[in-house]
Amino acid sequence: MRVTKIIDQIFPFDQMSFEVWCLTQGLTAEYVNERSKTLGSMVNDYILKDESPGAKAEGENYLIYDCADRFREFVAHLEVDILEREQQCNYSENGSVLYWGIYDFIAKINNEKWLIDLKTYGIWKYGDIEPEYAEPSEDKLKKANLQTALYAQCFGEKLNRAVLHILPNGYSFLPFKSLPKKQLEKSIQLCKDYYTF
């Protein structure tokens, strides 16, 4: 089972509330979803794979380049040594893979290994206007905490975990202090139940 599917099962998305919120903002859910997905993927590809957005960004390349500048600031500020980028990891028990996912990157910061997930929450808002940089919501951080914990469990070694929230006009490095043990156990059981059917 893919890690993102586990996250969706543990933290179901409230589509109805999201659509109502979009309507109150004069937007469609399709617009916000597509713009978030497109811009987020381009930022991720440019930063982690060195893939230029080219014509895909349709005049909004500056958003991707600004995010890349924020990433370079993060690397320089904390003297980050990136060890691995976008690799698949698997968690197995008794020789069977229970779940898998693709983590964004592993880095060394102050001689400690970190598993870091790159997030672009709210990037869809950028374009004609430039809103103030905003931290991710508590709900989004709960999901990211479990996501990084599931990835880290694949390694069999202690890894520090964090989210790097990056937007064109700012970034936040947000370490996770606690491991969501009950959610991890629930995730493993969910995978076991999934494969017994």
Nearest residue to 195 (alpha-carbon basis) of 90, 97, 88, 100: 97
Q: What is the mean pLDDT of residues 49-77?
A: 80
pLDDT attached to residue 54:
58
pLDDT attached to residue 56:
53
Q: What is the pTM of this model?
A: 0.90
CATH code linked to domain 3-196 = 3.90.320
For 164, half-sphere exposure in the C-beta direction (CA atoms, 13 angstrom radius) is 28
Report the percent of the chain where pLDDT is more than 70: 94
At residue 83, what is the residue type? L
pLDDT attached to residue 180:
75
Calculate the dihedral angle through the C-alpha atoms of 141, 144, 148, 153, rounding to the nearest 10 degrees.
90
Tracing tokens 């694949």 back to the chain, one arrives at: 154
